């Protein structure tokens, strides 16, 4: 059942409190064991790093009109650095995503190396369907369900969001579930994930317009190294996101 729609005021301190709660989460024993084992064993390239090894909270502008939803922290990326889409290997997802955000005016710099590198997201906030790195990047349905309330609360604490970019099909499913949970009457048949697809839904959610939902392939190495996702394709998505933000904002 959806929640009663009511306006939610901007609450940066609420986001800070939620981020702290996320970091302390131990709801999924398999994920706790995996993220901590990765942090102990490390990767050869990062043997001198002290890994984060905990759930990774969302990150960005509390007044964001653009929300990005990914799959999960990378085992040796955000699970190492403690910030979403930060520190992936060369040509990894964070490299592609931050560069595209910068070119579209949603970031102050084109690189995302560590959580104190000066990166600021501009009118954007990034999060994920999962807050812990899962083995083989495959969370279980139950793990996704356990993490889902964090996404709901995050959305409610970001009242200016007008556009959501879904990085991959798992993120798209999580966003549709979020909207349905909050009372949005989704069309049938259920919208389907497709790169570049844009979905606009009528009505309001929690006292604001239902955000436009924009899809892109996840900028993982699996997609970028095979040519399934190219830099021009990702740039086009964020140019579209910029236009939608201005139209819907």
Q: Which residue has the tokens 């009242």?
A: 159
Q: Which residue has the tokens 């993982």?
A: 220
6 phi-psi bin (left φ>0, alpha ψ -120 to 50, beta other): beta
Q: What DSSP state is assigned to residue 109?
A: S
205, 27, 60, 224: CA torsion to nearest 10: -100
- Percentages of the chain per state (helix, strand, coil), in multiples of 5: 40, 10, 50
Output the tens digit of pLDDT for each of the chain's 249 residues: 334 344 445 677 899 999 999 999 999 999 999 999 999 999 999 999 999 999 999 999 999 999 999 999 999 999 999 999 999 988 899 999 999 999 999 999 999 999 999 999 999 999 999 999 999 999 999 999 999 999 999 999 999 999 999 999 999 999 999 999 999 999 999 999 999 999 999 999 989 999 999 999 999 999 999 999 999 999 999 999 999 999 886
| Per-residue pLDDT at 9 | 57
The pTM of the full predicted model, rounded to 2 decimals, is 0.94
| Per-residue pLDDT at 3 | 41
| Per-residue pLDDT at 89 | 82
Distance CA 179, CA 205 (A): 8
Beta-strand relationship, 204-205 and 212-216: unpaired
- Domains of the chain in start order, with CATH, are 12-248 (3.40.470.10)
131, 244, 113, 147: CA torsion to nearest 10: 0
| Per-residue pLDDT at 166 | 98
Q: Which two tokens stand for residue 141?
A: 């349905």
Distance CA 211, CA 201 (A): 8
Distance CA 40, CA 62 (A): 33
Q: What DSSP state is assigned to residue 131?
A: S
| Per-residue pLDDT at 10 | 62
Tell me: the pLDDT tens digits for 50-107? 999 999 999 999 999 999 999 999 999 999 999 999 999 888 999 999 999 999 999 9
| Per-residue pLDDT at 91 | 85
Angle at Cα 130 formed by Cα 128 and Cα 133, nearest 5°? Answer: 110
- List helix spans (H) across the chain: 12-23, 29-41, 78-81, 93-103, 141-156, 169-181, 221-224, 231-248
């Amino acid at each position: 059942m959806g929640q009663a729609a009511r306006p939610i005021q901007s609450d940066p301190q609420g986001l800070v409190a939620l981020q702290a709660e996320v970091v302390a989460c131990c709801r999924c024993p398999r994920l706790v064991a995996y993220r901590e084992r990765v942090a102990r064993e490390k990767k050869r390239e990062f043997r001198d790093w002290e890994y984060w090894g905990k759930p990774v909270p969302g990150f960005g502008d509390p007044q964001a009109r653009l929300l990005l939803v990914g799959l999960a922290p990378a085992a040796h990326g955000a699970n190492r650095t403690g910030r979403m889409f930060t520190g992936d290997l060369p040509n990894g997802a964070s490299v592609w995503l931050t560069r595209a955000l910068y070119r579209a005016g949603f970031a102050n710099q084109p690189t995302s190396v560590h959580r104190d590198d000066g990166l600021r997201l501009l009118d954007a906030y990034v999060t994920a369907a999962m807050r812990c790195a899962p083995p083989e990047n495959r969370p279980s349905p139950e793990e996704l369900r356990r993490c889902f309330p964090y996404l709901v609360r995050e959305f409610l604490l970001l009242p200016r969001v007008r556009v959501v970019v879904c990085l991959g099909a798992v993120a798209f499913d999580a966003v549709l579930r979020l909207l349905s949970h909050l009372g949005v009457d989704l069309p049938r048949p259920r919208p389907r994930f497709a790169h570049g697809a844009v979905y606009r839904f009528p009505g309001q959610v929690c006292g604001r317009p239902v955000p436009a939902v924009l899809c892109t392939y996840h900028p993982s190495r699996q997609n970028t190294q095979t040519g399934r996702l190219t830099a021009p394709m990702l740039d086009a998505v964020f140019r579209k996101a910029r236009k939608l933000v201005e139209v819907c904002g």
